[in-house]
Structure 1
Amino acid sequence: MSTTTDMPVPANVEGAGTVEAPVTWKAAVMLGVVSLAMAYLALFEQRDGETTFRLATANDFFELPEVTVSANAAVGVVTLALIAMTAFAAYLTYRGRQTSLWLVGVFSVVAMIGFLAWAAAGETVPVVGLLAGSITLAVPLVFGALGGVLGERAGVVNIAIDGQLLFGAFAGAMFGTLLASTWGGLVAAMLAGAVVALLLGFFAITYYVQQVIVGVVLNVLIIGVTSFLFSQVMAENPDTLNSPPHFSRITIPLLGDIPLVGPVLFRQTILVYLMYVAVAVVYFALFRTKWGLRVRAVGEHPKAADTVGIKVNRTRYTTLLIAGMVAGAGGATYTLVSVPQFGREMTGGAGYIALAAVIFGRWHPIRATLAALLFGFATNLSGVLSVLGSPVPSQFMLMLPYVVTVVAVAGLVGHSRPPAADGIPYRKG
């Protein structure tokens, strides 16, 4: 008789969330829209001057030279390149093949270079600062997305990511101040995220309440609770309850001095390094361990998993609690790294963007991380362009991260499906 240690893999567990549907024209059309927008800039919104891309910092092993280009010439060349890639994507779709991820990635990078050359005409773009800041802003999104991947792989729709981030930020600020310890604040933030996850599991797993509704209600509840405690407790005692210490940046010897890569990846806070570890651990745990096989089994075919001896609801609870702790760690970024104290609704709906990263990443931890980094880049880009005095309206700058989210999920994600039992309560027997 089979046991949980040698259980067969139920159908589609290994590829859950990545099964492709018939090819559509969505990606090719979206690339075409972006190409037309770049062509409009090249033809009707020309900007005189040169754009300089600064690639080095003072402590690098050697200094990379600045790259200076004519804004109009760069936009023209980029437009032609984008049109060529769009035509290739259309050809692939016509031949019944999916637009590959590498083509979308190259297209995005080229389009961004063209847009920066146009928007920063006459100015200098600090490439290192742009990329390093993007990673910092993406940290809570990555942790939130990892929590979302874990929950949904186990069959629980984790809409409550935003509540976990916000409650983690609150607990990190309060207990970090009380304990005068960044690590104490981080642990408190992780436990706060687990508390929200426990509430989600209690209603969704034990009492079979519709999971999306529970998640939304929990998000609203956490906003109300933290806002009340902030105004009634924290605001009255900011020095003793809302002045947490902060993680400082740590430069990794040698790696931190590599030109361009070093300042971006290896001159960061400990939470960024923990993010690198978390991505690797979640990927390995899900796809290279027996525990991960059980998690994917209960998310794909819980009845089959139950048949071979797996405790479905126990596995879902355990996974959801781990997911909550991961998301809570992301919330700690807001109060232990980014800003000096907790503020009302300071996550700004980041949990929903993290959920979009889960979908864009097709329920895969590495792809979801890349999607979260994209959204972090869009957020930081809006700030950098505002500082450079870009002609793009400030209102559009505020919209940019959300526009990128909508475009990515609606236009580039293609057709994929979540784990088959995602959002479906399991009733034994």
Structure 2
Amino acid sequence: MTQVATRPAESRETEAAVVLTRHWRTPIMFGVFGLLALVVFGLLPDGGRESTFGLSLRDDAIQLAPITVPSKLAAILLALVCLGIAAYATWQTYLGRRVPLWLSITFGLAFVLAFLTWSVAGSEISLTSALQGTLALSVPLIFGALCGMMGERTGVINIAIEGQLLAGAFLSGVVASLVGNLWVGLIAAPIAGLLVAWVLAVFTVRYFVNQIIVGVVLNVLVLGVTNFLYSRLLSPLKETWNSPGRFPRLEIPLLSEIPVIGPVLFHQTIIVYIMYVVVVLAHIALFRTRWGLRVRAVGEHPEAADTAGIQVNEVRFRNVLLGGALAGLGGAYFTLGAVGLFSPEMTAGAGFIALAAMIMGRWTPIGAVFAALLFGFANNLQSVLGIIGSPIPSEFMLMAPYLLTIFAVAGLVGRIRPPAFNGQPYLKS
């Protein structure tokens, strides 16, 4: 009896030790980046310089004076905030608790502000313009992250987000050009993403082909088809096939006049407003409805879901299609919301960064939004710093989004556990 009673206790102690060891990477990374911010951004620069941040655009209804802060002092204070968060994360890990997502978001904001204060020292940037550029670059990432989340919540890994974004961008531009109506092009975009998702679902859900391989093949297929059609039709017959135009920016009365956030959030194209609605609906549907409970059950324990009467593979199939439609909308933003025409490979790896945003956001819509905004900010920062003549090499800023992706996936956001049956086909016994 003693031996039987002792074994579970030892097992529980061992499991607890494993869990604690597994989570130490988060406070360690917080501490390393906090010290980096303190030394590089705060202690090394010369004193006496100031950083200026503009808060208003020229046509804003309410004009705010720019904020000027001492560069060195502000960077030191923000770095100390990062170190304080690292200390709190260490204490949480010592107690065996999960590092909350809001803590990671706060750390990221403090580190980014410290970097901005250091890089803008002696110059001035418009914070509102920087945030507008950030949101513009984040919209396709958010749609792509929601696409991946819809599939992975049911256990289907979607590597084909890049292809779905590109297909949505292509078909929306072509249809809008031929019909002469941007709204028809916008309707065609989710259809393009849905078609690519249908191929993915057929091979992975119905025929149990390796999900990673199918996703990679679809990316290459869409890339090849769009490049071929661009060279044969869209480029030589641009006026007919590739001149869709762009949606105008729409101002929401009163809300667009709020200082700083008003011009950023409420002076946008219709696609951005659709994104706001989609994010809210996705969060409510996943965590507040019976449908969401079934979707999460399929991803966590498909056998139990099957026993409860849920058609596991049908749920997976439909969710992959739904995700493809969302990715198609994200692709439409490239042609109908930002550029005004289609160009080859215009997604430029956004689908893979969207996957990283989904992981960094812990497979939740709100978390994916914040992660995508962080990636968009890192991408936009290269042009902002180039305008003010920052001494930071442009090559480094080009690498920043991808370095951020590596750090995020490597464990910057704490314990990341995907759905238990993610990537595994379900064969009903």
CA distance in 2, matches of 1:332, 1:246: 10
CA distance in 2, matches of 1:367, 1:246: 29
Distance 1:273 1:34, change over 3 A: same
2:348 alignment counterpart: 348
Deviations 1:228-285 (A, max 9, x none): 1111121121110011121111010000001112111101111111000000111122
- TM-score after normalising by structure 1: 0.91
CA distance in 2, matches of 1:283, 1:264: 22
2:364 alignment counterpart: 364
Distance 1:154 1:97, change over 3 A: closer
1:103 alignment counterpart: 103
CA distance in 2, matches of 1:415, 1:340: 41
Between the two structures, name the one with larger relative contact order (CA 8 Å, sep ≥ 6): 1
Counting only pairs closer than 5 Å after superposition, residues 329-348 of structure 1 correspond to structure 2 as: 329-348=329-348
Gap runs ≥5 in structure 1: 1-19
SS at match of 1:389: coil
Which segment drifts farther, 294-303 or 95-104? 95-104
Deviations 1:265-310 (A, max 9, x none): 1011111110000001111222222222222222222222222322
Distance 1:379 1:204, change over 3 A: same
Could you tell me how far 1:187 is from its partner in structure 2?
1.3
Could you tell me how far 1:340 is from its partner in structure 2?
2.6
2:408 alignment counterpart: 408
1:146 alignment counterpart: 146
CA distance in 1, matches of 2:101, 2:427: 39
When the two structures are aligned, how many residues end up with a matched partner? 410
Could you tell me how far 1:174 is from its partner in structure 2?
0.7
Which segment drifts farther, 47-56 or 163-172? 47-56
What letter corresponds to residue 215 of structure 1 in structure 2? G
Distance 1:308 1:102, change over 3 A: closer
SS at match of 2:69: strand
Distance 1:200 1:53, change over 3 A: same
Distance 1:350 1:318, change over 3 A: same
Residue 378 of structure 2 contacts residue 397 of structure 2 at CA under 8 Å; is this kept in 1? Answer: no
CA distance in 1, matches of 2:306, 2:80: 56
Distance 1:70 1:335, change over 3 A: same
Deviations 1:13-36 (A, max 9, x none): xxxxxxx95462212121222223
Counting only pairs closer than 5 Å after superposition, residues 69-148 of structure 1 correspond to structure 2 as: 69-148=69-148
Counting only pairs closer than 5 Å after superposition, residues 118-267 of structure 1 correspond to structure 2 as: 118-267=118-267
Distance 1:79 1:315, change over 3 A: closer
Deviations 1:323-364 (A, max 9, x none): 100010000011111113211111111101111111111111
Distance 1:47 1:99, change over 3 A: same
Residue 47 of structure 1 contacts residue 121 of structure 1 at CA under 8 Å; is this kept in 2? Answer: no
SS at match of 2:23: coil
Residue 138 of structure 2 contacts residue 375 of structure 2 at CA under 8 Å; is this kept in 1? Answer: yes
Could you tell me how far 1:45 is from its partner in structure 2?
3.9
Residue 181 of structure 1 contacts residue 245 of structure 1 at CA under 8 Å; is this kept in 2? Answer: no
Residue 159 of structure 1 contacts residue 216 of structure 1 at CA under 8 Å; is this kept in 2? Answer: yes
Could you tell me how far 1:158 is from its partner in structure 2?
0.8
CA distance in 2, matches of 1:357, 1:108: 14
What letter corresponds to residue 230 of structure 1 in structure 2? Y
Gap runs ≥5 in structure 2: 1-17
1:316 alignment counterpart: 316
Residue 146 of structure 2 contacts residue 323 of structure 2 at CA under 8 Å; is this kept in 1? Answer: yes
What letter corresponds to residue 291 of structure 2 in structure 1? W
Could you tell me how far 1:197 is from its partner in structure 2?
0.2
CA distance in 2, matches of 1:295, 1:178: 39
Residue 48 of structure 1 contacts residue 121 of structure 1 at CA under 8 Å; is this kept in 2? Answer: no
Residue 299 of structure 1 contacts residue 419 of structure 1 at CA under 8 Å; is this kept in 2? Answer: yes
Distance 1:285 1:406, change over 3 A: same
CA distance in 2, matches of 1:422, 1:366: 20
Distance 1:126 1:425, change over 3 A: same
CA distance in 2, matches of 1:210, 1:427: 14
SS at match of 1:63: coil
Residue 176 of structure 1 contacts residue 185 of structure 1 at CA under 8 Å; is this kept in 2? Answer: yes
Residue 165 of structure 1 contacts residue 328 of structure 1 at CA under 8 Å; is this kept in 2? Answer: yes
What letter corresponds to residue 216 of structure 1 in structure 2? V
Could you tell me how far 1:224 is from its partner in structure 2?
0.9
Deviations 1:54-97 (A, max 9, x none): 11234545332211122223223333333333333333333433
Matched, 1:426 2:426: yes
Could you tell me how far 1:48 is from its partner in structure 2?
5.4
CA distance in 2, matches of 1:75, 1:419: 39
SS at match of 1:151: helix
Residue 101 of structure 2 contacts residue 367 of structure 2 at CA under 8 Å; is this kept in 1? Answer: no
Distance 1:416 1:121, change over 3 A: closer
SS at match of 1:278: helix
2:26 alignment counterpart: 27
Could you tell me how far 1:387 is from its partner in structure 2?
1.3
- Percent identity over paired residues: 51
CA distance in 2, matches of 1:238, 1:61: 39
- TM-score after normalising by structure 2: 0.91
2:378 alignment counterpart: 378
Which segment drifts farther, 410-419 or 219-228? 410-419
CA distance in 1, matches of 2:285, 2:405: 28
Distance 1:146 1:21, change over 3 A: farther
CA distance in 1, matches of 2:367, 2:396: 27
CA distance in 2, matches of 1:383, 1:410: 27
Counting only pairs closer than 5 Å after superposition, residues 265-344 of structure 1 correspond to structure 2 as: 265-344=265-344
1:14 alignment counterpart: none
Could you tell me how far 1:144 is from its partner in structure 2?
0.6
What letter corresponds to residue 260 of structure 2 in structure 1? L
CA distance in 1, matches of 2:208, 2:220: 20
CA distance in 2, matches of 1:277, 1:55: 27
Query: Which has the larger share of helix?
Result: 2
CA distance in 1, matches of 2:103, 2:304: 38
